[in-house]
Structure 1
Amino acid sequence: MKKKLQTAFTTRQYMLSKDFEIYYYNEKYTSKIEMHTHNYYEFYFFIEGDVQIQIENEIYPLKCGDMVIIPPGRRHRAVVEQSNCPYRRFVFWVSREYAGNLMEQSAEYGYLMQQAQVQGKLIYSHDVVEFNTIQYKIFQLIEETQMERYGREARIPLLVSDLILHLNREIYEKEHPVKIKEENLYQNLIYYIEQNLEEDLSLEKLSSVFFVSRYYIAHIFKEQAGISVHQYILKKRMQACREAILGGENISKVYERYGFQDYSSFYRAFRKEYGMSPKEYREEQKVIFK
């Protein structure tokens, strides 16, 4: 199957499509390529060969799993040694317009392209597992472009978007491990709080559940949500109380269940949140839904 997906190499350095082109090349030796530029983005995935890549005045040796991103206008060429070793790689060209359309949908499509364009960060390495995942997605896309199956025109853009987003996500998460850890902790805190509104949700309790300090929890929550843990829990408990009251439950039992010490503290919190007392709120809703 993979052999059928190969493309015969040519020295063409311009796009025939207005959106993207993707190729799988595998040959013994490639004709010498002179330094050149593109008016599109090139994603180059190196698999095998005795190859270096020259970008402007720098030459970089390549190893299996390396990904090179070359933005428009950057002079470059592959430097291939003449040998019996196969030279295998994927080449993925994406036009500026197509990249721009993706970034209008979500800025997250453009992380790597912006890193290359603005910061000059061009080369990334992958381990075997990571690169196998990338190869699988590329072969899926190439296979779809070469077949005439029902839904082809709809599926191809999905596969392109999936590949580009996967590459951006993978590198972003590698470069921001602390941020990802914080986001995961925040999401887990949200889930735990919402599932345990009737239980003790003090910072000490949350600290013991998640094995991090209460100060760290308070910091992460404030940074992610914009309000304190206490404020968030109070809001969620008030919503739960409101729904229970509208459902006909006894007001005294409701406020006790959700951790309010007495009716006066519950009354003040409810009035602050909804602008009226619990009883007034229930009566008003009865009138509205008559």
Structure 2
Amino acid sequence: MDTPILRHFSPHFYLNHTKTEKPVDVATHIHDCYELFYFISGDLTYYIEGQAYQLSPHDMILTNSKELHRIVFNSSHTYERKFIHFTSEYISAYQIDEYNMLSHIENRKLGHFNRIPASFVKNAGIDTLWENIEKASREQSLETPILIKSYFIQLLIKINNQIAQYNNKEELRKHDDKIIAILEYINKNLEEKITLDLLEQQFYVNKYYLCHIFKKSTGFTVIEYITYKRIMKASELLTSGYSALDASHSVGFHDYSAFYKAFKKITGVSPKQLKEH
């Protein structure tokens, strides 16, 4: 059961602090915004685009709007976390040509350098800035929105600078190079028919073993990963003007009904509703 500790909504910004006594796995999902996830307690593995992160208290996880992720709990220990969802619009007035606060969050290979270790969170004062944001949100005074945004801008700058300086040696890909190659192949060939037999032939690995190591390394089944990636790409095409039928064909769906069902299941809306939004 979730116990809300703090929630704060404003345009393009959402702050949440919650404790869960008996956590259940969080299914594969993606956000249409940026997420800063602050881990406090629990026993979990955070999977992002083929990378498995074992978290320690006060570690942070960063994800952008292109990265599939899911959470698997290794035990029923109490789970406490904080997160912020925000869009680029929230900080657009403070972006300048010479300095982009989102550059290191956005311009990464998918699944790379998502974790900021607790030591860096504390040494950079990121934890203090986050506490200031929470404190300001509780006060609900006239100056609250200004205070929250000012602290948040400082927090983003700290994160950006820390990622730039951090020589993520321990975060370099630790799993099989073959999985990395398969992930890259899938992302570059979404419009093609991708089957387990094809991957078996392409990468010289038994398809049953491939299924095993893919799920172990990424937290996703092969088919689940391909389907999510295709729906994500289709969403981009729809918002850029493609018809639903053309979008479905462009990402490798040759049966529109299968595309429609998968699209609605993953996004929660129909292709038509997304275009109209």
Q: TM-score, normalised by structure 2?
A: 0.51
Partner of 2:145: 153
- 1:51 pairs with 27, 38, 44, which one? 44
Partner of 1:143: 135
Q: Contact conserved, 1:5 with 1:139, CA < 8 A, in 2?
A: no
1:67-87 CA-to-partner distances (Å, cap 9, x unmatched) read 21111031111112342x221
Partner of 1:110: 102
Matched, 1:37 2:30: yes
The structural deviation recorded for 1:59 is: 2.4
Name the amino acid aligned to 1:58.
Q
1:176-207 CA-to-partner distances (Å, cap 9, x unmatched) read 9xxxxxxxxxxxxxxxxxxxxxxxxxxxxxxx
Matched, 1:166 2:145: no
In structure 2, stretches of 5+ residues that fail to align are 169-277
Task: Determine which structure has the larger strand proportion and give its number.
Answer: 2
Q: Contact conserved, 2:34 with 2:85, CA < 8 A, in 1?
A: yes
Q: 1:91 to 1:143 in 2, by over 3 A?
A: same
Equivalent residues in 2 for 1:1-290, closer than 5 Å:
6-7=5-6, 17-83=10-76, 85-104=77-96, 107-116=99-108, 120-127=112-119, 130=122, 133-175=125-167
Q: In 2, Cα distance between the equivalents of 1:138 and 1:25?
A: 15
Computing the radius of gyration from Cα coordinates, the structure with the larger value is 1
Q: TM-score, normalised by structure 1?
A: 0.49
Partner of 1:194: none
Name the amino acid aligned to 2:5.
Q
Of structures 1 and 2, the one scoring higher in RCO (CA 8 A, sep 6+) is 2
The structural deviation recorded for 1:137 is: 1.4
Q: Contact conserved, 2:36 with 2:61, CA < 8 A, in 1?
A: yes
RMSD: 3.2
1:212-255 CA-to-partner distances (Å, cap 9, x unmatched) read xxxxxxxxxxxxxxxxxxxxxxxxxxxxxxxxxxxxxxxxxxxx
Calculate percent identity across the aligned residue pairs.
18
In structure 1, stretches of 5+ residues that fail to align are 9-14, 177-290
Q: In 2, Cα distance between the equivalents of 1:80 and 1:106?
A: 41
